[in-house]
Amino acid sequence: MKVAVIGTGYVGLVAGACFADSGNEVVCVDHDPAKIASLKKGEIPIYEPGLEDLVSRALERRRITFTTETAEAVRSSEVVFLAVGTPSRSDGTPELRYLKAAVEQVARAMEEGKTGYRVLVNKSTVPVGSQQQVSDWASAATSQPFDVVSNPEFLKEGTAVDDFLKPDRVVIGTSSDRAYELMAQLYAPFVRQGNPILRMDAVSAELTKYACNAFLATRISFMNELSRVADAFGGDIEWIRKGMASDQRIGRHFLYAGVGYGGSCFPKDVSALVTQARSKGLSVGVVEAAEEANRTQRDYFVSLIEKAYPKGVSGLVFCIWGLAFKPNTDDMREAPAIPVIAALRAKGAKVRVFDPVAMEQARHWIAEGEDCRYSSSALEALEGADGLVLLTEWNEFRNPDWSEIKRLLKQPRIIDGRNIFDPALLKKHGFQYVGVGRR
Ligand SMILES: NC(=O)c1ccc[n+]([C@@H]2O[C@H](COP(=O)([O-])OP(=O)(O)OC[C@H]3O[C@@H](n4cnc5c(N)ncnc54)[C@H](O)[C@@H]3O)[C@@H](O)[C@H]2O)c1
């Protein structure tokens, strides 16, 4: 099938590459000429495991092309995915101007090219009612026939390729049989093992995406709140987590206490659900509380650092391991490292930061300066520091050489924002260990 993907970011590029890998002819469009120029050379502008191989294979087999020209892509493709960003506005509502611009470009191309029937697919996370909204925008610019389908994406950065190729489910929101048949054909290679394609109405599909992210964010916030209770009573959140996770009704995912959730999805989708419910006069108190708990968890974590230094953190130097909002990505959007480092700097501390892949991205979010230095290795960042603060649980940080760390640090203190280290082991090595909700 011939497929166009408008927006070649974390979602669009993965979707395009995976559709190409399953035999389709894919045109990926982005209005950023630099991004398209590097993609044409097989250079991947983001860090996502497995993606580079997939894209180079598709390029070799001539199944994927990259362009800045929406019209060219729409003329040749029956299915057009919209995968542009929908970031939060300052009031928490989703910013839809990229989506509107993309839809208008697509519709104009349909009109000019007299393309005939097209399926426009909302792959971006969009507010409830967007299927109708996209349909209205498109109708205003073209008289060519089309359907709009809601097909929210559930991939996780860091395992995006795998998630896309083996989705837990595919949600397709449409009342059109013709559009559904095309979508089902496109996704057939990814659901051969019985993982379902769930056909539903578009509003339910749109809400499903927000429901999933808000629910997962709520689980994390619940554990973060509980970690404070554990701290207050001298319990250990890791034991509590294990006790909960082995209950099959609860399950083991998204139960980790730490510095709070971040990334390009949870914070904005939680806010979007809250503001959309409010627009109907509803309050989603549980979700609002999850949002609030996430905000306060960062302050709580900074207070844990301060507690470890009774004379105050002003003038101290902290080594920060991990900047990306989670491991295996270079995505810095809403990374907890940003507010935590800002708070330490505001309190007069200095930081030396290191992340295995997000250093370049991080520079756009965390300004280098006299009180913030980017280090070239994890060990270099430790030299002479008053403590190690772990903010992202990259694998390479999990089992470090503790004797070397002890030698490099000025004060043997470890503040573990992801609870990945073993407090007993660190005690044995002579460190003072602070975790989140750890005994
Ligand atoms: N990142 C994730 O993990 C994830 C997961 C599920 C869903 N989503 C949703 O998918 C959508 C895209 O997210 P993302 O992380 O891929 O965003 P992104 O910012 O990485 O990519 C968006 C791309 O769209 C391009 N773009 C914007 N307007 C355009 C236009 N008119 N024509 C062509 N290109 C245009 C931008 O240049 C950018 O490259 C969002 O709605 C997001 O909420 C993201």
3-state secondary structure 227-273: HHHHHHHCCCHHHHHHHHHCCCCCCCCCCCCCCCCCCCCHHHHHHHH
Q: What is the mean pLDDT of residues 45-49?
A: 96
Tens digits of residue pLDDT in 190-242 = 999 999 999 999 999 999 999 999 999 999 999 999 999 999 999 999 999 99
- The chain-wide mean pLDDT, for the chain, equals 97
Containing structural domain, residue 246: 214-434
Q: In the chain, what percentage of residues exceed pLDDT 70?
A: 100
Sign of the C-alpha dihedral, residues 390, 393, 399, 401?
Answer: negative
Class of residue 62 by CB neighbours under 10 A (exposed 0-12, middle 13-18, buried 19+): exposed
144 shares its domain with 243: no
Q: Provide CB contacts within 8 A for 230, sequence distance 6+.
A: 236, 237, 240, 437, 438, 439
Q: Provide CB contacts within 8 A for 5, sequence distance 6+.
A: 12, 13, 15, 16, 19, 26, 27, 28, 29, 80, 81, 83, 123
Output the domain CATH number for residue 25. Answer: 3.40.50.720
Answer whether residue 152 shows pLDDT above 90. Answer: yes
Answer whether residue 2 shows pLDDT above 90. Answer: yes
Last residue of a domain, one of 171, 199, 227: 199
Which helix H or strand E contains 208, and what residues bound it?
Answer: helix 202-233
Q: Which of 347, 253, 271 is nearest to 303 (CA)?
A: 347
**Alpha-carbon distances, residue 105 vs 5, 27, 248, 262, 359 (angstroms):** 13, 15, 48, 32, 35
Give 248's strand partners: none
Q: Provide CB contacts within 8 A for 179, sequence distance 6+.
A: 119, 147, 149
242 shares its domain with 183: no
At residue 235, the pLDDT reads: 97
15 shares its domain with 127: yes
Q: Which atom of ligand 1 is nearest to the CA of 265?
A: 43
Tens digits of residue pLDDT in 379-423 = 999 999 999 999 999 999 999 999 999 999 999 999 999 999 999
User: Does 11 sit in the ligand 1 pocket, CB within 6 Å?
Assistant: yes
311 shares its domain with 424: yes
Structural domains counted in the chain: 2
187 shares its domain with 251: no
User: Does 208 sit in the ligand 1 pocket, CB within 6 Å?
Assistant: no
In a domain, 137, yes or no: yes
The yes-or-no answer on residue 372 being catalytic is no
Q: Could you tell me if 198 and 169 are in contact, meaning their C-beta atoms sit under 8 angstroms apart?
A: yes
Instruction: Compute, in angstroms, the gap from residue 8 CA to the centroid of ligand 1.
Output: 7
Instruction: Compute, in angstroms, the gap from residue 10 CA to the centroid of ligand 1.
Output: 6
Instruction: Compute, in angstroms, the gap from residue 30 CA to the centroid of ligand 1.
Output: 10
Q: In the chain, what percentage of residues exceed pLDDT 90?
A: 100
302 shares its domain with 185: no
